[in-house]
Amino acid sequence: MTGRRPAPNGRPVTVPRLGKMKRDGERITMVTAYDATFARLFDEAGIDVLLVGDSLGMVVQGQDSTLPVTVDEVIYHCRAVARGTRRAHVVGDMPFMSWQISAEEALRNAARFLSEGGAQAVKLEGGVDAAATIERIVHAGIPVMGHVGLTPQSVHAMGGFRVQGKTEAAAARVLCDAKAVAEAGAYALVLEGIPTDLAQQITDAIDIPTIGIGAGPHCDGQVLVCYDLLGLTPELKPKFVKRYAEFFEQGVAAARQYSEEVRAGIFPSAEYSFGNVKKSETEAPTPGLSLVHDLRAAYGPKG
Between 93 and 277, whose beta carbon lies closer to ligand KIV? 93
Figure out which of the listed residues 48, 93, 177, 228 binds ligand KIV, where binding follows CB under 6 A: 93
Alpha helices in the chain (DSSP H): 15-24, 36-44, 56-59, 71-83, 103-115, 131-139, 155-158, 168-183, 196-205, 226-229, 247-263, 287-299
268 to 255, 259, 272, 275: CA distances (angstroms)? 14, 11, 5, 11
Encoded amino acid at 57, one letter: G
- CA–CA dist 181, 120 (Å, integer): 19
Residue 200 CB, nearest approach to ligand KIV (Å) = 19
Residue from 283, 286, 257, 287 nearest 272 by CA: 287
Between 30 and 206, whose beta carbon lies closer to ligand KIV? 30
Encoded amino acid at 240, one letter: F
Between 68 and 267, whose beta carbon lies closer to ligand KIV? 68
Binding region for ligand KIV (CB under 6 A) out of 51-59, 109-117, 263-271, 283-291: 51-59
Q: Contact letters (x/-) for ligand KIV, 188-227, by CB under 6 A? A: --x-x--------------------x---------x-x--
C-alpha gyration radius of the chain: 22
Residue 131 CB, nearest approach to ligand KIV (Å) = 19
Between 190 and 199, whose beta carbon lies closer to ligand KIV? 190
Intra-chain end-to-end CA distance of the chain, in Å: 17
Please report, as residue ranges, which positions from 227 to 246 form the binding site for ligand KIV (by CB under 6 A). Answer: none
Q: Which residues bind ligand KIV (CB under 6 A)?
A: 32, 51, 53-55, 93, 147, 190, 192, 213, 223, 225
